[in-house]
Structure 1
Amino acid sequence: MADRLILVDDLDEESIKDVERIDFMWRGTEYEIDLNPEHLAEYDEALAPLLKVARVKQGAGRKGRKATKPKSETTAETKKMRDWAKANGHDVPDRGPIPREVREAYARAQAESGPSVPPQGTQEDAAEAATQNPYAGR
């Protein structure tokens, strides 16, 4: 059996005939409202003077844009950040975006620890690495 969605007018909370869902944005927040034809006409009338002088924003209508990581961030850096977060008690998913709070905590921890310089090995270490990896030093 198929489910049906019945919209109820949000203003009078009674009308269900020809109710239409309207999406709009105000001051950076997206909203939706369900209106019957009478209330939709009032909505259109109220917006008419503004729409006469308003501009359509370039790229308007695009939905579902994915959050992207900073361009300079590599997969290795993301893995390092996830490993650090898990080791320091932060709840971080194995995939997908890393929460802003975790990124900020990681950045603070990196700033506090100062620049890290990898330890320099001896010539014996380099010779041993070369025998284990035939491509080392090429």
Structure 2
Amino acid sequence: MAQQTRVIITDDLDGTEGAKTYRFAWGETVYEVDLTDAHRDELLHVLEPYTSAGRRVRPGRVRTAAAPAERLDRATSRATGGWAAGQGLAVKDRGRIPASVVEAYRAAEAR
């Protein structure tokens, strides 16, 4: 005796059979929706101005709204690193100083 299992994907909007699953993201949330070709075309039409103006991001690379890292001049970098070491903060001898350490250094200097 043979068994067959059929998976029928139905449109999430109107229940029509023959839909396909589409994935999209907004903010930090990824959505999946099952749509027929007609509803997919409607969605693409609504999103077209935004997708045309936007930039594609490679999978696995999520951009945040954070500002780019500030580049410190050599003297400021040395002063910040020395201050951090004196405060018992772990800072590498080479490389970028974490923004939180730079902020703490500047706050201490402002006092």
Give the TM-score category using the shorter length: 0.3 to 0.5
TM-score (structure 1 length as normaliser):
0.41
Higher Cα Rg, which structure: 1
Higher normalized contact order (CA 8 Å, seq sep 6+, divided by chain length): 2
